[in-house]
Amino acid sequence: MRAKRSQGVWDLFWETGNMPYTITQLSTFFTNANAGTAPTAAQLTGLQSIANQNATGTLSDAQALQSAIDMGSDVTTAVSV
């Protein structure tokens, strides 16, 4: 819920847009895509960057989710081969 000022009056309204993903959520998606292995400190930095871009609207929710999954999948594939 957000407060919105309109013509000098504060009203509360429900945000109808998507809420951005948090670093915790993206880390969970990464871990699930990476066969249960959690991200390293360097990978967490990348996930934080994705979360920041999602929060500012640079990346949509779908793009942020896919980026986190791709990052985890790439690691798993590289280790598996």
Q: How does pLDDT run across 2-46, given as a tens digit for each residue?
A: 444 445 554 444 444 568 999 999 999 999 888 889 999 999 999
The whole-number pLDDT of residue 52 equals 96
Q: Please give the Cα distance from 79 to 37 (Å, whole number).
A: 11
Spatial CA neighbour of 26 closest among 47, 52, 57: 47
- pLDDT of 76 reads 58
* pLDDT exceeds cutoff 60 at 68: yes
pLDDT average, residue stretch 39-62: 95
Q: What is the structure's pLDDT at 21?
A: 94
Can you tell me the mean pLDDT for 39-63? 95
